[in-house]
Chain A
Amino acid sequence: MNEHRADTPISIHSLSIAYRRKPVLWDIDLDIEEGKITGIIGPNGSGKTTLMKAVLDLVPKASGDVRIYGQPFSRSRRLVSYVPQRESVDWEFPVSALEVVLMGRYGSLGWFRRPKRADYSQARACLQKVGMLEFADRQINQLSGGQQQRVFLARALAQDAKIYLMDEPFAGVDAATEGAIIKLLFDMRAEGRTIVVVHHDLHSVRRYFDNLILLNMRLIAVGPTAEVFTESNLDLLYGGRLTLLSEASHLASKPA
């Protein structure tokens, strides 16, 4: 696990992160398996989003390092696509759904160049994949929460990456959108893409994720969902929070 192998999509070694000298993540060691959907779960403030941002070089590391297929992120960013939390942007911003998706093409366009016809058709194809083509010209402030989330996913698809990091893509979306998103993730997995999802709903963990990361400042457990989504691990993860604990143990003992 300590080796940065070139065939491992994401390899995290001895990673620690601190905000204003208070530790947020402590000595994380893990590898993400290629072509699988990996969930990250843990209580609020357990550092799930921070872990994702550390992989993306968005927060400074106190120590340790992260490799993408054996390379630092700065040299392999084209392989990685990020879907931020929906609340992280201002949806009153004056752009259409199609223009947001086009932003996924900007990286490969480079400086000064405007999107060409090929970029537009690819952006439309990505909107089609998330079932949002009919809303292409709709202003983003006129979309529902679930529709906005799907536009974000379409933007990520437009980047055509190998690794997808998604921060709470299922938060606050309707059931139809949740179904559409998970189908999309399964399709992406079938294409051999690696997907990492920060998640908060324990009910769907067994159905959605091949592998699981249990995080609460420290790494509690990592591995195949069937092996690590156990009562004793959830006990460690949510320790002390009794109501959640009983719900969690109920879920863990129930076969999928």
Chain B
Amino acid sequence: MLEDLLRIFSFQDLNTRVVLAGTTLLGTACGAIGTFTLLRQRALVGDALSHAALPGVCLAFLILGQKSFAGLLFGALVSGTAGVLVIYLVSRYTRVSEDASIGIVLSTFFGFGITLSRLIQNDPQGNKSGIETFIYGKAASMLTADAWMMLCICLGVLIVLLALFKELTLVCFDPDFARTAGWPVGALDLLLMAVLVVTTIAGLQAVGVVLIIALLITPSAAARFWTDDIKSMMAISCFFGGSSAFIGTVISGVSSRIATGPMIVLTAALIFVISLLFGSRGGVLARFYSGSVASMESPQ
């Protein structure tokens, strides 16, 4: 175990370095897009999206017959997008409300995906180890090329979000006002969704479909407890996401039996709980303290 730690921290092995850099950047990108997802109140859609990606991964696996990273990501992209589209159509054109349609789509797509993954695992010819990775995440199974791809996607995501920071902030805060001022709110919403899809897909192999949503939402929710400023919130969220991913990857790298996804999510959850309790803006302790101070002060 000590040797493993030494191996990771000495960064001797190129693959380890690239994978660690890749997951850390993934966490950072998740923290960034998560901030807008949270503020646009799209957290549940993100959850449905990641679960809806699983059947696409499995279908691509069945059709291609072997683990091709690009092929599996394409499958995830198609079925994840299809899931979001179904949610949109059902909630818009039927009596079913959005939260109910999210619940239906999430469970149906995921159930279909699990069924397919069992088929794959029972197939005597197939490569059984591959598919489990996409459900729970296994950063150690990533090849250097996979990690490079993830790195590039995440850099792209960060660049897009920073370039459109002003526009996305406006759309998240007051979409009606933005529309009257001439901003294409629908297109910007779609872009936000596309970035969310791409980030989710990029993180599938490292974190897995079940838990990627935690990395998207938890760091930004935690960041909100430390600031009232959206720029700082995004920076802190990126830091929380990046460090959760880094720590989670290291822990799972030390022990080959621990999946990466759960470790990353548990780290993010720990940061969230600490923020919830000790955060300077609306944390439990800060509230308690300011509440007792306010009650002692005389009204103006």
Nearest CB on B from A52, distance (A) = 10
Per-residue interface assignment for chain A, residues 45 to 86, with 1 indicating a CB less than 8 Å from any chain B CB and 0 otherwise: 000000001001110000000000000000001101110100
Q: Would you call A93 and B177 a contact (CB within 8 A)?
A: no
Cβ-based interface call for A139 (8 A): yes
User: B233 to chain A: which residues have CB within 8 Å?
Assistant: 94
User: A99 to chain B: which residues have CB within 8 Å?
Assistant: 230
Q: Would you call A141 and B180 a contact (CB within 8 A)?
A: no
Cβ-based interface call for A1 (8 A): no
Cβ-based interface call for A253 (8 A): no
* Bound form: Cα–Cα A106–B174 in Å: 13
Cβ-based interface call for B224 (8 A): yes
* Bound form: Cα–Cα A58–B170 in Å: 16
* Bound form: Cα–Cα A58–B39 in Å: 22
Interface residues of A, CB < 8 Å — how many?
Answer: 32
User: B296 to chain A: which residues have CB within 8 Å?
Assistant: none
Nearest CB on B from A167, distance (A) = 10
Per-residue interface assignment for chain B, residues 154 to 197, with 1 indicating a CB less than 8 Å from any chain A CB and 0 otherwise: 00000000011011011011101101111100000000000000
Q: Would you call B230 and A77 a contact (CB within 8 A)?
A: no
Interface residues of B, CB < 8 Å — how many?
Answer: 23
A84 — nearest CB in chain B belongs to which residue?
B176
Q: Would you call B173 and A89 a contact (CB within 8 A)?
A: yes
User: B141 to chain A: which residues have CB within 8 Å?
Assistant: none
A53 — nearest CB in chain B belongs to which residue?
B176
Please pick, from B166, B172, B182, the residue contacting A77 in the complex, using a CB distance under 8 A. Answer: B182
Q: Would you call A82 and B176 a contact (CB within 8 A)?
A: yes
Contact status of A94 and B166, CB under 8 A, knowing A58-B180, A82-B177, A82-B180: no
User: B183 to chain A: which residues have CB within 8 Å?
Assistant: 106-107
* Bound form: Cα–Cα A96–B177 in Å: 17
User: A112 to chain B: which residues have CB within 8 Å?
Assistant: 163-164, 166
User: A155 to chain B: which residues have CB within 8 Å?
Assistant: 177
Please pick, from B172, B173, B181, B229, the residue contacting A107 in the complex, using a CB distance under 8 A. Answer: B181
Cβ-based interface call for A182 (8 A): no
* Bound form: Cα–Cα A168–B166 in Å: 27
Nearest CB on B from A209, distance (A) = 23
Cβ-based interface call for B4 (8 A): no
Please pick, from B167, B174, B182, B228, the residue contacting A94 in the complex, using a CB distance under 8 A. Answer: B228
Q: Would you call A89 and B174 a contact (CB within 8 A)?
A: yes
Nearest CB on A from B190, distance (A) = 16
* Bound form: Cα–Cα A82–B230 in Å: 24
* Bound form: Cα–Cα A53–B166 in Å: 24
User: B224 to chain A: which residues have CB within 8 Å?
Assistant: 94
B232 — nearest CB in chain A belongs to which residue?
A94
Contact status of A88 and B170, CB under 8 A, knowing A56-B180, A82-B180: no
Per-residue interface assignment for chain B, residues 207 to 251, with 1 indicating a CB less than 8 Å from any chain A CB and 0 otherwise: 000000000000000001001111001000000000000000000
* Bound form: Cα–Cα A159–B183 in Å: 14
Cβ-based interface call for A250 (8 A): no
* Bound form: Cα–Cα A113–B163 in Å: 9
Contact status of A106 and B230, CB under 8 A, knowing A77-B181, A88-B174, A159-B181: no
* Bound form: Cα–Cα A94–B226 in Å: 11
Q: Would you call B181 and A93 a contact (CB within 8 A)?
A: no
Q: Would you call A106 and B166 a contact (CB within 8 A)?
A: yes
For chain A residues 111-142, which have a beta carbon within 8 Å of chain B? 111-115, 139, 141
Q: Would you call A84 and B182 a contact (CB within 8 A)?
A: no
Contact status of A96 and B229, CB under 8 A, knowing A82-B176, A84-B177: yes
Q: Would you call B227 and A103 a contact (CB within 8 A)?
A: no
Per-residue interface assignment for chain A, residues 168 to 197, with 1 indicating a CB less than 8 Å from any chain B CB and 0 otherwise: 000000000000000000000000000000
Contact status of A58 and B179, CB under 8 A, knowing A95-B230, A111-B167: yes
A83 — nearest CB in chain B belongs to which residue?
B177
Nearest CB on A from B225, distance (A) = 11
Nearest CB on A from B286, distance (A) = 14
Per-residue interface assignment for chain B, residues 262 to 274, with 1 indicating a CB less than 8 Å from any chain A CB and 0 otherwise: 0000000000000
User: B228 to chain A: which residues have CB within 8 Å?
Assistant: 94, 96, 139, 141
* Bound form: Cα–Cα A57–B166 in Å: 23
A positions within 8 Å CB-CB of B: 53, 56-58, 77-78, 80-82, 84, 88-90, 93-96, 99-100, 103, 106-107, 109, 111-115, 139, 141, 155, 159
Q: A77-B182, A84-B176, A103-B170 are in contact. List 17 more A-B contacts (CB 8 A).
A: A53-B176, A56-B180, A58-B176, A58-B179, A58-B180, A80-B180, A82-B177, A88-B174, A93-B173, A94-B39, A94-B230, A95-B173, A95-B229, A96-B229, A106-B181, A114-B166, A155-B177
- What are the 3 tightest A-B residue pairs by CB atom distance, in nearest-first order? A139-B228, A107-B181, A82-B180
- Report 15 cross-chain contacts, Cβ distance below 8 Å, ordered by A residue: A53-B176, A56-B179, A58-B179, A77-B180, A82-B177, A88-B174, A94-B224, A94-B228, A94-B230, A95-B229, A103-B174, A103-B177, A106-B167, A111-B167, A113-B166
B positions within 8 Å CB-CB of A: 39, 163-164, 166-167, 169-170, 172-174, 176-177, 179-183, 224, 227-230, 233
